[in-house]
Structure 1
Amino acid sequence: MELAERVITKATPTIPADLLLRQTLARRKQLTRADSAWISRAVFSYFRWRRWLDEAQPMNAQLERALALADDFAISPANFLDAELMSNAVPSWTPEFVTVSPEWARSLQAEPALWLRARTGMAAQVSAQLGNCDSPKWSEFTEALRYDGQEDLFRHELFQAGAFEIQDLASQAVGLLCAPQPGETWWDACAGEGGKTLHLSDLMGGKGLVWASDRAEWRLHRLKQRAGRAGCFNYRSVLWKGGPKPATKTMFDGILLDAPCSGVGTWGRNPHARWTTNSQDVSELAVVQRDLLSNVAASLKVGGRLIYAVCTLTRPETTEIADAFSAAHPEFTPLPLVNPFAPGAPAAARLELWPQVTGANGMFIAAWTRQAIPDPAPVG
């Protein structure tokens, strides 16, 4: 319990609990897998049930209470009233930006699923060798697996061999909706450590090219490590700070902008972020997102596909960004997408993926296709 308390008390907005937890556990080689799992659950339960706890109590008592609440909710969720959940599960500023439904609030208090993405054609092998795997109920996710076991997956031989990645199902949906084709050239503009870059490459069968850019060199270094493990060789990486000058002179068949965002859609998986994110973050990030989307759009070929994705559900970062882009760029036409979580529903150019429906992170996705290159502005 001491290690869990230490992580909780040292976590800050700039040193989030999940990062601090990983670092803490990595330094304690003597911990068993069960010990690490208990500490992780204690930390996340504390932040998930924080509004139900008495801060005047000693930290060990608060941790015991948080774990008891987590157990009670898993066994008898109906004992928790909707009004109580809607009030306590999210910070007070949330309703200004997101519709807080009882269903969403309940999904935030459930312990999240762990999703894997197998390399194309390897899902059956990964499932058989790992065990404790289930396929999602949506047939579009042919390589996705839900893992309920206790192994340290990062050390598993299949992971080390690049047979699978740990990737949330909503993030996998983004790659599927990009629908990259073999031989195309794509730009993953805010690639981070490259989870979606690797997915795009896999969907293309290794044929074509994916450019991955990010503002942080260390993230691109992590992508290089992951790509080597996954056998991904049809990508190039480049530093890009997000300005109007494109990352390369290439014109792309497709561009994915997985923009930096408030991360509200990840609050179920990362409950500490609920209490470190504020309304000002949402407003400031919306400005960044609007600029990024406009900047990347100039590098899309006529007939190409532009995908905007954010793991948040706030209106300023989702529908308002899409509205502003469409108004400012009439040469881009909304592109209808088939929701992989509802394949029978009508196609739509904007999708909101809610955790209570998907069992995954919340995600917003919008798509356009380019109809023309605008004439240059007159000189003088």
Structure 2
Amino acid sequence: MARSPHIDGTAQRAAQILSRAKPGQRIDTLLRETFAHQRRLAPAEKTAIAGALFATARWHRWLDPKAALPVRVAAAMHLQARFEADPTSVKPEALAALALPDWVRDEVDLSPADLIALQTPPPLWIRTRAAYTKRIKRFLTAVTPAPAPANRTGLLYSGDKDLFRTEPFHQGHLEIQDLGSQLVGHACVPQPGETWWDTCAGEGGKTLHLAELLEGKGLIWATDRHTGRLQKLKQRASRAKVFNYRSTTWDGGAKLPTKTLFDGILIDAPCSGIGTWRRNPHARWTTTLTDVQELAVVQRQLLEHALPALKPGGRLIYAVCTLAKSETTAIADAFTAAHPELQPLALLNRGPQVTLSLSEWNANGMFLAGWTRPTAS
């Protein structure tokens, strides 16, 4: 177990915040609630406190559970700083054994590089509207273009501006969107004039990206089971000046929200989120194998229920931000076997099933699979 002999003010404040957390509460939610009432904290103080809380979640299994909370937080901060300075300071076998819950070993294959990425703070990716990319690069300066195919509008930001307070964000010229999510849009390859369905649109990140790729021509149906998320989508679309979409609720059942047949259907399904555990390390210790198994049932149902809305020649894309075999290859293999009438579809020039690893893309881990319904001969 790791300990730190020095407990500074950041560790004390972070421990106080953590002591008020509700069972299972996300760290980002806890921080939002806290900072809303502590407006005098400087941006640097907020960043340090957030870093301490996330480090405590990452190094959870290295910490002495009997130690006082400030001691555990300080120990985690020490481990995090040492690891970022020298990843070899923690043995690979220790990372493999302790960075994740035990049940994950049978579900997820992570390389040593993935495990190192998992224990480091996540990058900040943004997506620009293509017409404003050059202007945003000049404005932010501390940006690096994403690798292809996201290199035109995807940027890695390493500066210290609060992007949510910048003019380009308020004008709808940029979105905060992880590169893994951006690659989902590029894998869909929507063509101007097509009609697409984003079945599990949530707050609309991928809907807005599809609209950008459609160049404002064509139509997107955005559905979700939660009206609150769709209301957030409406606000984001208004800010981004995206109007070629319709939104309505859909519970994922066999009754479809429209009789429209689609050129493309994106099923960005609810999942265990293992691919986001670099960004949400607290979720490692609340997600269970039972969650994975229950979500796999939902994912298969979504594919089956959405399929009738696919046009001949249309493209069906399945995406999840998880790396669990039960939610990725097992789902894709079973769906392929059940539907020999569909043809597997190559995605991102890699094949019909693509795993985006944390280390290769410096982004959330994702899994993609694709099929097309052949046109009548």
User: Which residue number in structure 2 is paired with residue 32 of structure 1?
Assistant: 42
SS in 2 for 1:93: helix
2: CA distance, partners of 1:4 / 1:211: 42
2:312 equivalent among 302, 308, 321: 302
SS in 1 for 2:243: coil
2: CA distance, partners of 1:14 / 1:206: 40
1:350 equivalent among 353, 358, 373: 353
Deviation at 1:240, TM superposition (A): 0.6
User: Which residue number in structure 2 is paired with residue 60 of structure 1?
Assistant: 70
2: CA distance, partners of 1:118 / 1:127: 10
Deviation at 1:60, TM superposition (A): 1.4
1: CA distance, partners of 2:162 / 2:33: 15
1:41 aligns with 2:51: yes
Deviation at 1:372, TM superposition (A): 6.0
After superposition, the C-alpha distances for 1:222-256 in whole angstroms (9 at most, x for unaligned) are 00010011010101100111100112111100000
After superposition, the C-alpha distances for 1:338-362 in whole angstroms (9 at most, x for unaligned) are 34xxxxxxx3001000001110000
8 Å CA contact 2:149, 2:186 repeated in 1: no
Matched pairs, number: 366
1:369 aligns with 2:338: no
Deviation at 1:6, TM superposition (A): 4.2
8 Å CA contact 1:86, 1:101 repeated in 2: no
User: Which residue number in structure 1 is paired with residue 33 of structure 2?
Assistant: 23
Q: What amino acid maps onto 2:352 in structure 1? A: A
2: CA distance, partners of 1:136 / 1:231: 24
1: CA distance, partners of 2:127 / 2:168: 12
User: Which residue number in structure 2 is paired with residue 260 of structure 1?
Assistant: 270
**Structure 1 stretches of 5 or more lacking a match?**
340-346, 374-380
1: CA distance, partners of 2:98 / 2:218: 48
Stretch deviating more after TM superposition (359-368 or 61-70): 61-70
1:201 aligns with 2:204: no
User: Which residue number in structure 1 is paired with residue 347 of structure 2?
Assistant: 337
SS in 2 for 1:285: helix
Q: What amino acid maps onto 2:65 in structure 1? A: E
Q: What amino acid maps onto 2:214 in structure 1? A: M
2:240 equivalent among 230, 243, 246: 230
Structure 2-normalised TM-score? 0.94
2: CA distance, partners of 1:288 / 1:140: 30
Identity %: 50
User: Which residue number in structure 2 is paired with residue 378 of structure 1?
Assistant: none
Query: Which residues in structure 2 correspond to 1:236-251 (within 5 Å)?
Result: 236-251=246-261
8 Å CA contact 2:150, 2:182 repeated in 1: no
Deviation at 1:130, TM superposition (A): 1.8
- Relative distance call for 1:146 and 1:354 in structure 2 (3 A) is same
**Structure 2 stretches of 5 or more lacking a match?**
1-9
User: Which residue number in structure 2 is paired with residue 377 of structure 1?
Assistant: none
Root mean square deviation, CA, Å: 1.5
2:183 equivalent among 162, 167, 173: 173
1: CA distance, partners of 2:369 / 2:149: 22
User: Which residue number in structure 1 is paired with residue 224 of structure 2?
Assistant: 214
Stretch deviating more after TM superposition (125-134 or 225-234): 125-134
